[in-house]
Homo-oligomer: A and B are copies of this chain.
Amino acid sequence: MSRFLTVISVADAAAAAEKIAPARKTESVPVEQSAGRVLASDIAADTDIPGFDRSVVDGYAVRSADTTGASDSVPALLTCIGRVTMGKHDTNLILGNAECVYIPTGGVLPSGADAAVMVEYTEEAGDTILVKKPVSHGENVLLRDEDFKKGETVFSMGRRLSPQDAGVLAACGCATVTVAKKPVVGIISTGNELVPATSVPGPGQVRDANAPMLAAWLSEYGCEPRLYGIVQDEREAFETVIARALPDCDLLLLSGGSSKDDRDMTAGVIAGKGMVLVHGVALAPGKPTIIGRIDTKPVFGLPGHPASALVVLKVIVSPLLDKMLGLDTPLLRTVKATLAENIPSQRGREEYVRVKVTNGIATPLFGKSGLLNTLVKSDGLVCIPAGYEGLEKGSEVEVILW
């Protein structure tokens, strides 16, 4: 009975996958739709931001020296000589000694002024303004180019854009922005036991949970999943669907049935049409992973258990996706926690155990790898490196959140 020919380490498998990543493609999107997308070029400020000295309060533009020593009992008395209009720069408005100008938040600081006093610390008496608190040079003022200087690199290529970044991009003059195109990932389910969600499973049958789970995961990750349905374990039917999917996709995930026969067929089909690079990884769950290539497209054979398939996505497929996206730092959310129980592990393979995290305590959810319920009850995974025989209760661990 055949075994895995060569089982390689997780790091080697991930590196093998990354090596066959197709080249990044780019597209332009409106900035307001850019959050979560990966920047495809450096962005520089096209002007100083702001473009002028701006008040950050509603109040009066003043010469700070005129307010020295001002207090409630001995206010500085300034003459108000005008108002700053929002969105305009009145170059005729020039402050002399003991003069001030009403200025709204965001208004252009008039010539001669070097600070702004909040309206809360002033009192009007006709044209005279009583200032009851001193301000220092530059106080309550945002200087021209204080935020970003013209020509300065604001964001570097490879950054995953946040909503705040969308605002900054707009400030830099980008109504649209060039980002990595979402990798198109085809998902083909195989397995004679699989029926779609719409069917009532007959004896020995189960519904295909993996394909929608993988698709949903890929969408969240920033890919465009395409579902090609369930193919029975017949080589010809399988090859037909692969041939149909391949031209439209950047990579393919063959979501395996759970049986060995099925995995062997998957490997056989990939080998027949292209090349199998990896078959078997020192990873639990996820050992029966296949990495191959047909034409120039990466093709993965994923294990049949949902938990195993997700672990393989996280640790082996995502580095390839990151490379396709040009992402500068992996999209891994982690949280530190203390282990509530011992986790035994087998030396020589990297093991991922599902855990539930409550108040900084990570409780392992042991259980058969075919179970869905531990998958949805868990918050993430704890990794036991290949060189360890387990982790002890009370250890500080890094939980990789789902």
User: Is A241 located at the chain interface by the 8 A CB criterion?
Assistant: no
Stretch of A33-41, A64-72, A324-332 that contacts chain B = A33-41
A89 in contact with B204 given A1-B124, A372-B171 (CB within 8 Å): yes
Q: Is the CB of A147 within 8 A of B372?
A: yes
Residues of B within 8 A of A1 (CB): 119, 124
List, in ascending order, chain B residues with CB within 8 A of A240's CB: none
Segment of A6-14, A256-264, A340-348 in the binding face = A256-264
CB distance from A86 to the nearest CB of B (A): 4
Contact with B along A183-225 (1 / 0, CB 8 A): 0000000011110111011011111111111111101100001
Complex-state Cα separation, A393 to B87, whole angstroms: 41
Q: Is A244 an interface residue (CB 8 A)?
A: no
> Are A32 and B211 touching (Cβ within 8 A)?
yes
Q: Is the CB of B212 within 8 A of A166?
A: yes
- Whether the Cβ atoms of B58 and A168 lie closer than 8 Å is no
Q: Which of A19-27, A101-109, A274-282 contacts the other chain?
A: A101-109
Instruction: Tell which of B88, B167, B200, B304 touches A204, judged by Cβ atoms closer than 8 Å.
Output: B88
Decide if A49 is an interface residue (CB 8 Å cutoff).
Answer: yes
Q: Which of A157-165, A245-253, A315-323, A383-391 contacts B (4 or more CB under 8 A)?
A: A157-165
CB distance from A234 to the nearest CB of B (A): 12
In whole angstroms, how far apart are the Cα atoms of A258 and B58 in the complex?
9
Are A164 and B213 neighbours in the complex by a CB distance under 8 Å? yes
Residue pair B304, A106 in contact (C-beta under 8 Å): yes
Known: A170-B197, A220-B35, A376-B162. A259 touches B104 (CB 8 A): yes
Contact mask for chain A residues 361-390; partner B; CB cutoff 8 A; 1 contact, 0 none = 000000011111101100000000000000
In the assembled complex, the CB of A111 is this many whole angstroms from the nearest CB of chain B, namely 12
Give complex CA distance A213, B36 in Å: 12
> Is there contact, CB below 8 Å, between B47 and A200?
yes
Is A397 engaged at the interface, CB distance under 8 Å to the other chain? no
Chain B residues within an 8 Å CB radius of A155: 376
- Across the interface, which residues of B come within 8 angstroms of A174, CB to CB? 197
A142 within 8 A of B: yes
A203 pairs with B107, CB closer than 8 A: no
Task: Give A163 to B318 CA distance when docked, in angstroms.
Answer: 15
Q: Is A212 a contact of B31 with CB atoms below 8 Å?
A: yes
Contacting pair A207 B173 (CB below 8 A): yes
5 shortest interchain CB distances as A-B pairs: A167-B213, A104-B259, A89-B203, A106-B258, A163-B217
- List 16 A-B pairs, Cβ < 8 Å: A33-B216, A35-B220, A49-B206, A52-B203, A86-B204, A104-B261, A104-B262, A105-B258, A106-B206, A106-B304, A146-B371, A163-B213, A167-B375, A168-B375, A171-B207, A175-B198
Name 14 extra pairs, CB < 8 A, besides A33-B216, A170-B207.
A1-B119, A35-B217, A35-B220, A47-B201, A52-B203, A52-B204, A58-B260, A85-B204, A86-B259, A87-B205, A148-B372, A148-B373, A173-B200, A173-B207
Binding site for B on A (CB under 8 A): 1, 3, 30-36, 46-47, 49-52, 54, 56, 58, 85-89, 104-108, 119-120, 124, 142, 146-148, 155, 161-171, 173-175, 191-194, 196-198, 200-201, 203-217, 219-220, 225, 227, 233, 257-262, 304-306, 310, 333, 335-336, 360, 368-373, 375-376, 402
